[in-house]
A and B are shown apart, each in its own frame.
Chain A
Amino acid sequence: MLYVLEDTINGILIGSIYGLTALGLTVIFGVLKVINFAHGSLLMVGMYTAYWAVVLTGIHPYLALIIVAPVMYFFGYYLQNIIIKPIFKAEKDVREPITVIIVTTGVWYVLDNLSLLIFGPQYRTLQDNPLRGKMLEFAGMMLSIPKFWGFVIAIVTAAAVYWFFQKTRMGRAIRATSLDRESASLMGINQYRIYNVAFGIGTAIAGIAGVTLVPFYNVFPSVGVLFDIKGFIIVVLGGLGSIGGAILGGIIVGVIESVGPQFMAATWTEAIVYGLFLMVLFVKPSGLFGVKYDW
């Protein structure tokens, strides 16, 4: 019984980090109405940025946040501005332009292959990592410390994003644009700038997720692919565009993956996750957590 509880808690911890990758995806989708197939690659770039920030400067792995979040924000901002925006402008009458999806897929391939070219195929892990394998003993259970901090960072990030969307001028403008682009234009909001900012925020969140992963996860060029598929599943589970839904959806997937192997072969847990995903798509396509947008 204690094992199940321990696995559940560890599932919640790792699941919240999955939720963080899905959160970036959902923010971008909420505004651009386009699934960003490059999101896993952005996570990969975030992980490399975090890895090198720690290796080159010797700072604490979590302090890398102050480098990674802004670097990734600008990376996303200009990626959208330079590569994706021209396609958007060319197809401005199309609400969900398929060509933009194709472009994000192109970005995925380019980024993954660039990192293979630059960093090579090897798996990298932080040496002299103060968090490596550290466990927290709590009521007789062993919990991973880096996953615990990942959980804290995920919750704080989600709360901060929610606050930003509710209470700031830019946040309101982003919500307005996501609800009605043309009407937002008539309020003096420059749509294309909003897309840049939303993409920047989504990418920065992917960077934050990268920082939380690096202390206990290998970094390699195709690492994003593993999280890509999870990200899509979670976003659909939680409800496209929902902040709370992304985190909760991530936690559900994390718990299934973590507790499942106690009762069945590990491969079956994947089947359960996909099964749940399909069920939600058929039965409640707006996601488990009701509202279409909670921002």
Chain B
Amino acid sequence: MAFLEVRNIEVFYGDVQVIFDLSLHVEEGEVVSIIGGNGAGKSTLLRSISGLVPPAKGEILFEGVPIHKAPPEAIVERGLVQVPEGRRLFTLMSVKDNLIVGAYNSRADRVKEKTIEAVYELLPRLRERESQLAMTLSGGEQQMVAIGRGLMAKPKLLMLDEPSLGLAPLLSKNIFETVRKIADQGTTVVLVEQDVMHSLSISERGYVLEQGRTVMEGPAKELLDDPHIKTAYLGI
């Protein structure tokens, strides 16, 4: 039994189907990349796993427990946490309050003082900025707050939706290094990205999504060498 298992899900927005018969699995301790172009359905997949858009068909199991009918807060409580696309910070709250809200679930709430120290250790910039309003930070700093806020929830599995979106190459490299560190500290990671090269290079495995379907999957190294991926995503 895989850590996270998505079995044959179909997801709709109203009448429009966006995900078609999609299956994937993530093992404990892995970093798994989900790559694909704009509109492929990557965000919808994560939103579905998080309970924001429940699948119309199929099953999602986390640690063997079905979660596809659970509300978002119950899924977070289980330790399956998402850092959403576009950061979605609480703009008019301080950095520190953003982090503390991240620890809202009861598991995380009990240890939030300790977790915030660990987050500041990993992302020292946040300590300097802790009393600033989130909206006053630069894009890179905001992404760090988003990741830090995700970590505050004490995730067993952290899903990140395009954390490098809109960042300069150097900052983006920094974010990938941080994600790798988080994985090395023992958190399982699902990384949704359009920066295929960097994303796969820190992952064990990857899936390629096109038009709401998985068209390829395999070890990250093999995907990086694949001719289709080279032409379609790496521009080589």
B76 touches A169 (CB 8 A): no
A185: B residues at CB distance < 8 A = 51-52, 71-73
Assess A183 versus B90: contact at CB under 8 Å? Given A188-B77, A188-B105, A189-B104.
yes
CB contact under 8 A between A187 and B149, given known A172-B97, A172-B100, A176-B101: yes
> Any chain B CB within 8 A of the CB of A118?
no
Q: Which residues of B contact A184 (CB under 8 A)?
A: 90, 101
Contacts of A176 in B (CB 8 A): 90, 93, 101, 104
Residues of A within 8 A of B73 (CB): 185, 188-190
Looking across the interface, which residue of chain A has its beta carbon closest to that of B71?
A: A190
| Chain A residue at minimum C-beta to C-beta distance from B159 | A186
Closest to A183 in B: B88
User: Interface range on chain B: under 10, 10 to 19, 20 to 34, or 35 or more?
Assistant: 20 to 34
How distant is the Cα of A126 from the Cα of B71 in the complex, in angstroms? 49
Report the separation of the CA atoms of residues A180 and B91 in the bound assembly, to the nearest whole angstrom.
Answer: 9
Given contacts A186-B82, A189-B73, contact A173 B101 (CB under 8 A): yes
Residues of A within 8 A of B71 (CB): 185, 190
**Cβ–Cβ < 8 Å partners of A187 in chain B:** 76, 101-102, 104-105, 149, 153
* Interface contact A186-B76, CB-CB below 8 Å: yes
**Complex-state Cα separation, A38 to B50, whole angstroms:** 35
Quote the shortest CB–CB distance from B102 to chain A (angstroms).
Answer: 6
Residues of A contacting B215 in the complex (Cβ-Cβ under 8 angstroms): none
The docked-state distance in angstroms from the alpha carbon of A175 to that of B153 is 18
Residue from B84, B88, B101 having most chain A Cβ neighbours under 10 A: B101
Q: Which residues of B contact A173 (CB under 8 A)?
A: 101, 104
How far apart are the CA atoms of A113 and B65 in the complex, in Å? Answer: 50
A188 contacts B92, CB within 8 Å? Answer: no
B56-79 vs A: 1/0 string, CB under 8 Å?
000000000000000111001100
- A292–B93 Cα gap in the complex (Å)? 12
- A293 within 8 Å of B (CB atoms): yes
1/0 contact trace for A137-174 toward B, CB 8 Å? 00000000000000000000000000000000100110
Q: How many angstroms from the CA of A95 to the CA of B71 in the assembled complex?
A: 19
Query: 9 A-B contacts, Cβ less than 8 Å apart?
Result: A172-B101, A182-B84, A182-B88, A186-B50, A186-B76, A187-B105, A187-B153, A188-B76, A190-B71
User: Nearest 4 pairs between A and B by C-beta?
Assistant: A188-B76, A188-B105, A183-B88, A185-B72
